[in-house]
Amino acid sequence: MRISVIGLGRLGLVHAAALASLGHTFVGVEMDTERVRKIHDGTLEMHEPGLADLVRTALTDGTLDVTSEPSASLGARAHFLTVGTPELAPNEGFDASYLENALRTLAPSLQPGDLVIGKSTVPPGTAAALTAQLHRESPDAELAWNPEFLAEGTAVRDTLAPQRLIYGVSSPEAARLLDEVYAPILDTGTQRVITDLATAELVKLATNAFLATKISFINTIARLAATSGADALQTAQLLGADPRIGASHLHPGLGYGGGCLPKDTRGLAYFAQQAGVMEAAQFFAQVDAVNTAQRQHITEWVTAQCRGRQEPQVAILGASFKADTDDTRESPSIALAHALMNAGLRVRIADPVVTASCGADSRLEFVRTAEEAMREADVTLVATAWPDYQRLDPEELLSVVRCPLIVDTRNCLDPARWRNAGWEYHAMFDPVMRLR
């Protein structure tokens, strides 16, 4: 089947390249001509394991065409909308204008019977409004909603072997066409659920907000463990062993970041507020507040350790919000770096794939390696659980730092190995790190 994808960011490019590998022919339409050039050159704007090879293969064998010309969508039967839905402003909901513009651009290429499929994250009611727009501009086409559940770092695998496929559709014909799109995946036994547009929209938001809630919950419990002498990590492990709860996202640390969980949790809070469900709005706002507080806690502790030192320096290992991605959107590492600099500390930050400054703060110093970041450091913070940092040699690094003090905010290092080498090692929720 010939399929078009409108928007070739993190979602759209993965979707097109992965499904092209299953036998479909895709045309990707991206209005950013520089992004189109980079895709053709093989210099992708994102780090996603396995994606570059898929894109290269699809471009070479002709199953993927990438262009900035909207008319290239003509002749496709299914058209995926994969543009971004950023926040209008903090805590003010989603900006649907990119979807509206994408649909407006696509409309002249639509033919009777074509299916437009939204994959972007939106609050309930967005698809209904887009359906009305579609019927005005191309009355013989139909709109469906097919939310994605990809995790950065495993997005290719999640696309090719999803846990479930959700179709928000208004007709049996739309479901049948989606079945054709996903036939190779459905043939492996993947569950497929048919529902309405609003449910398909809400389940995506609810999924991300629930994962954010689990992270904020376990961080709250870990803070309580630090005040009572309980072991925060073992408490989390014991909670995760309960099959009613599950271990996923129960990892005490700096909290969540990225382009989905923070935005979607705040977006759901705003949607609840607009709907008049104030208890829900307050609940999700508190989940977000707990997440933000994680960075403040560690900032206060590190600042206290550096008090009285001359020109104190902090090394931060990891800039991306998690390992296996270069995404620094709402990264806890970057937020922590800015907070420490605002407290008067010099910060050097290293990351295996992020090599440029994030944001407008020119004080943030990026260096190539962990060793460079740690040179003359008074405190070293492991802020992203990259395997590279688990392989560091603590004995060799003793001569690099000014003070052998390391804080493992992701609980990814071997504490005994670092302590035996002569380091003062702390996990994020060690009782000794409690300030109040």
Whether 162 maps to a domain, the answer reads: yes
C-alpha to C-alpha distance for 108 and 128, rounded to whole angstroms: 20
- Do 348 and 419 belong together in one domain? yes
Find how far residue 212's CA is from the centre of its chain: 11
**What does the angle CA 230 – CA 236 – CA 239 come to, to the nearest 5 degrees?**
110
- Do 218 and 71 belong together in one domain? no
Q: Is 152 annotated as a binding-site member?
A: yes
Show which of 146, 166, 195 is a domain's final residue. Answer: 195
Find how far residue 235's CA is from the centre of its chain: 26
Residues annotated as catalytic are 260
C-alpha to C-alpha distance for 370 and 374, rounded to whole angstroms: 6
The residue segments making up the domain with residue 356 are: 207-433
Contact call for residues 226 and 297 (beta carbons, < 8 A): no
- Do 180 and 233 belong together in one domain? no
C-alpha to C-alpha distance for 426 and 139, rounded to whole angstroms: 62
- Do 123 and 215 belong together in one domain? no
Contact call for residues 25 and 120 (beta carbons, < 8 A): no
Q: Is 263 annotated as a binding-site member?
A: yes
Whether 294 maps to a domain, the answer reads: yes
- Do 147 and 286 belong together in one domain? no
- Do 215 and 361 belong together in one domain? yes
- Do 232 and 108 belong together in one domain? no
Show which of 175, 195, 215 is a domain's final residue. Answer: 195
- How long a stretch of residues is the chain? 436
pLDDT of residue 226: 87
- Do 176 and 220 belong together in one domain? no
Q: Exposure of 132 by Cβ count < 10 A (0-12 exposed, 13-18 middle, 19+ buried)?
A: exposed
Whether 202 maps to a domain, the answer reads: no
* CA distances to 4, 18, 57, 68 from 54, in Å: 17, 7, 5, 20
Whether 229 maps to a domain, the answer reads: yes
pLDDT of residue 435: 43
- Do 171 and 225 belong together in one domain? no
Task: Look up the pTM and report it.
Answer: 0.93
- If one counts the domains in the chain, the total is 2
Q: Is 322 annotated as a binding-site member?
A: yes
Q: Measured between alpha carbons, how far apart are the two ends of the chain, in Å?
A: 61
Show which of 195, 227, 252 is a domain's final residue. Answer: 195
pLDDT of residue 361: 62
pLDDT of residue 364: 84
Residue-wise pLDDT for 192-223, tens only, equals 999 999 999 999 999 999 999 999 999 999 99
C-alpha to C-alpha distance for 42 and 52, rounded to whole angstroms: 7
Whether 200 maps to a domain, the answer reads: no
* E strand residue ranges, 20-70: 25-29, 64-67
* Lateral strand order in the sheet of 405-408: 365-367, 346-350, 313-317, 379-382, 405-408, 424-427
Q: Exposure of 39 by Cβ count < 10 A (0-12 exposed, 13-18 middle, 19+ buried)?
A: buried
Please name which of 31, 26, 7, 21 lies closest in space to residue 54, comparing C-alpha atoms: 21
C-alpha to C-alpha distance for 94 and 9, rounded to whole angstroms: 17
Whether 361 maps to a domain, the answer reads: yes
Flag residues of the chain having pLDDT under 70.
357-362, 432-436
Whether 148 maps to a domain, the answer reads: yes
Query: What is the CB neighbour count within 10 angstroms for residue 360?
Result: 6
- Do 182 and 240 belong together in one domain? no
- Do 317 and 260 belong together in one domain? yes
Q: Is 150 annotated as a binding-site member?
A: yes
- Do 166 and 211 belong together in one domain? no
C-alpha to C-alpha distance for 338 and 357, rounded to whole angstroms: 12
CATH number of the domain bearing residue 288: 3.40.50.720
Per-position DSSP letters for 380-427, written without gaps between them: EEE-S--HHHHT--HHHHTTT-SS-EEEETT--S-HHHHHHTT-EEEE
pLDDT of residue 84: 95
Whether 240 maps to a domain, the answer reads: yes
Q: Is 257 annotated as a binding-site member?
A: yes
Q: Is 318 annotated as a binding-site member?
A: no
pLDDT of residue 359: 58
Q: Is 119 annotated as a binding-site member?
A: no
